[in-house]
Structure 1
Amino acid sequence: MIKISHYILLLSLLHFSFYTEAQNFDDSDGNQQSLQLNTITTAVPFLLIAPDSRAGSMGDVGVATKPDANSMHWNPAKYAFVEDDMGFSISYVPWLRALVPDINLSYLAGYRKLSSNEVLGLEMRYFSLGDITFTNNDGNTIGQYKPNEFALGSSYSRKLADAFSLAIAGRWVYSDLTGGTSVGGIETKPGSTFAADIAAYYFLPRRIYKKDFDLAFGMNVSNMGDKISYTETAVRDFIPLNLRLGTSISTEIDDYNKISFAFDINKLLVPTPPEYDNRTNLGTDSLGNPIDNPNYGEIISGKDPNVSVVSGMFQSFNDAPGGFKEEMREINISIGSEYWYNNQFAIRAGYFNEHDTKGARKYFTFGSGVKYNVFELDFSYLVNTNRDAGVTNPLANTMRFTLLFDFGEI
């Protein structure tokens, strides 16, 4: 159970940001340089959590991998290429267990073919933040609550050609972090919004050097939606509007063995925090530490983040205070591989990399899967690889569990 002041609770749950000091490193000339953290934060970040074990064991790749029931999250356009008439999956992810014991994500997704070229997809995502004990500034308990967030979504995918498909998706997002508790004298409320996705998938079987290969390319622009707020007066926060691009290649080694490789890049399409000309002290927090407001004064580098969703989406490509170099740091890279034996047993592995100034998530993933007739069971495990001093990955040792069912003609 977590005890936390109202003010810190609201900020922590809104953004899941973990503050670290500027880190020193040696450049190629042996000179000491400083990396200043400039993480992009949004509301409802649970929308970007990889929900399934297959992608979770392949470094969080998924926009161009072989379609399955969980394609709704990664790229709903892949549904148009599913082989079975119907399928669904159930996933469970214990989250941030390196920090707290009772945060978890539950995910249900599925699809149904409407015709040979059209597929309907559905998803339901529930994120529980565990038991929270609310205290006032004096440390006195004033109540308990279980903050939660959930999203309901559907998609429509259609083949426009033998090798190409498009999809549109929509979801309703609901976030209740405080249960209506007053924070600093301000009444809070649940936040809600509607978001949409646009996705594309290109599947290209090819014969190269007398060997059959399946090439695929994918794109998904997800969570295009209005900003969200938890009070009537607070500034509204962006939701995690996101661009994902990727490719994959797979081949059958022989009648029993098949292997595939995938590569994704990922970028948030929301404004980067600019650099301001001063920091204004706002007093102290419940632990007696000074509270600084970096978002004060004139902007000396970067662009104003208080813009519309559409403006922020386009601005996100050229608004970083560090220029082009910092823009490139905002791109996360994922690579993954998958091996199947006799289409019954799978072994998977991958790697995810995020720049030190943008969150410092760096980890290996691996997992396995067992398939029998219409049933498949998958498992994944995450291993933190960022061993720098002062950097802690709260995702360390994360496990995912997924149960899938695929049905042929029905």
Structure 2
Amino acid sequence: MYKRSRILKAALFLFTFASAPITYAQTTIGSDLNAVTTAVPILTVAPDARSAALGDAGVALSPDANAPFWNPAKLGFVPNDLGVSFSYSPWLRNIVDDMSLSYVSGYKRVSETSALSLSLLYFDLGEIQFIDENRNPTQNFNPKEYSVSVAYGQALSEYLSLGIGARFIRSNIAGNVNVSSTSNYESRPGNTAAVDVGVYYNRDLNQTLNLGLAAAISNIGGKISYTNADQKDFLPTNLKLGTALTYNLDAYNSLTFTVDANKLLVPSPSADRDQSVISGIFSSFGDAEGGFSEELQEINLSGGVEYWYNELFSARAGYFYENPNKGGRQYFSMGLGLRYQKFGLDAAYLIPNEQANPLAQTLRFTIALNLD
């Protein structure tokens, strides 16, 4: 069991990593960094080990069972009739030992050029012991967040596909606990829904080169509230642009280079937070107080290199960069992958740029099953 102060510290570190601090609190660390803040930021964290090892890049990678998280359009080109994957990550184990992030996703072809998927993202924040104003223990609570998603991808031609997804989101970070006896606000779980859209282009440039280009917008949905007050917070609506270039060295060896650029399509900290979701999306391209130069700072870059030997063994390395004024997350990543007949196993390891970082030694594991 953990004291509330320790858990809150862990939560702050967590949400710094996940693009935004927890918005239930009246004061956030994002306000000091001028970072763009949202609710449910776990929706932007790479859940699978393959992309995690590539610096959290994945929107234009070759399709697999984790495609719905990155870009539903990739479902139009999935390689198998049926695919399932399960990913798990012990979270912030340098601080607490009962946080975890889990993701399960599966798809089924409905035709030669289309597929339907179902996925679940589940985030367990561990047990919290609440205390009152006099620092007396009141009750225990186990915060959880999850989303259930369906997605569909359709190939329009030999090279181009489109996709759409929809999800239900539930964020229960304080239950119905009244965290302050002096406040008239009652806490409650937040519920909302969102959609994803994406486009994916893939073709062979010649006998040795393959090019993938992709764009996707995820989490376009209603605002979410954690109290009975009128205040509501934006979801992490996220624009992803990416490319992946695969070079087949010979019949057994290949290299893939991939790069993603991400931008949250929500208002900057200095902008009007009461505007609608659609208005916030369009205004997010020009509402930064520092002008165009600050807008560029809101773009996160991620990229990596993936090596495959005979489609049996892979080695991966990547890097993620976020501007210091917008959160400052910067880290290397690495990982390995194995394939044997219908089964796959991937692992990823995060290496932060600085010592004493709570994200140090973060591991992700993915197991997969593919059937023709």
Q: Which amino acid aligns with 2:38?
A: T
2:13 is aligned with 1:3: no
Shift of 1:234: 4.5
Q: Find the aligned partners of 1:394 and 1:222 in 2 and give their Cα distance.
A: 27
Contact 1:262 1:336 in 2 (8 A): yes
Aligned with residue 98 of structure 1, among 94, 97, 106? 94
2:301 is aligned with 1:333: yes
2:311 is aligned with 1:312: no
Q: Which amino acid aligns with 1:241?
A: T
Task: Give the structure 2 partner of residue 213 of structure 1.
Answer: 209
Moved more, 92-101 or 139-148: 92-101
2:315 is aligned with 1:352: no
Shift of 1:115: 0.3
Q: CA offsets, 1:68-126, max 9 Å, x none?
A: 10011111111111111010100001122233222111100011000011110111011
Match of 2:76, SS?
Answer: helix
Task: Give the structure 1 partner of residue 135 of structure 2.
Answer: 139
Change (3 A) 1:323 1:84: same
2:168 is aligned with 1:149: no
2:175 is aligned with 1:179: yes
Q: Map 1:78-89 onto structure 2 (within 5 A).
A: 78-89=74-85
2:365 is aligned with 1:401: yes
Q: Find the aligned partners of 1:41 and 1:101 in 2 and give their Cα distance.
A: 26
Match of 2:351, SS?
Answer: strand
Task: Give the structure 1 partner of residue 21 of structure 2.
Answer: 16
Match of 2:4, SS?
Answer: strand
Match of 1:114, SS?
Answer: strand
Shift of 1:200: 0.5
Q: Which amino acid aligns with 1:259?
A: L
**TM-score, normalised relative to structure 1:** 0.84
Change (3 A) 1:165 1:145: same
Q: CA offsets, 1:355-405, max 9 Å, x none?
A: 001111000000001110000000000000146xxxx64322210000011
2:188 is aligned with 1:189: yes
Q: Which amino acid aligns with 1:100?
A: V
Q: Which amino acid aligns with 1:319?
A: D
Q: How many residues align?
A: 359
Q: Find the aligned partners of 1:20 and 1:169 in 2 and give their Cα distance.
A: 29
Contact 1:248 1:261 in 2 (8 A): yes
Q: Find the aligned partners of 1:393 and 1:270 in 2 and give their Cα distance.
A: 27
Q: Which amino acid aligns with 1:192?
A: N
Q: Find the aligned partners of 2:147 and 2:287 in 1 and give their Cα distance.
A: 30
RMSD value over aligned CA atoms? Answer: 2.1
**TM-score, normalised relative to structure 2:** 0.92
Shift of 1:20: 8.5
Match of 1:50, SS?
Answer: coil
Shift of 1:204: 1.6
Q: Find the aligned partners of 1:39 and 1:378 in 2 and give their Cα distance.
A: 32
Q: Which amino acid aligns with 1:131?
A: E
Q: Which amino acid aligns with 2:68?
A: M
2:247 is aligned with 1:251: yes
Task: Give the structure 1 partner of residue 343 of structure 2.
Answer: 375
Match of 1:130, SS?
Answer: coil
Task: Give the structure 2 partner of residue 72 of structure 1.
Answer: 68
Change (3 A) 1:215 1:100: same
Contact 1:361 1:386 in 2 (8 A): no
Q: Sequence identity, in percent?
A: 45
Task: Give the structure 2 partner of residue 199 of structure 1.
Answer: 198
Aligned with residue 63 of structure 1, among 59, 64, 70? 59
Q: Find the aligned partners of 1:304 and 1:247 in 2 and give their Cα distance.
A: 33
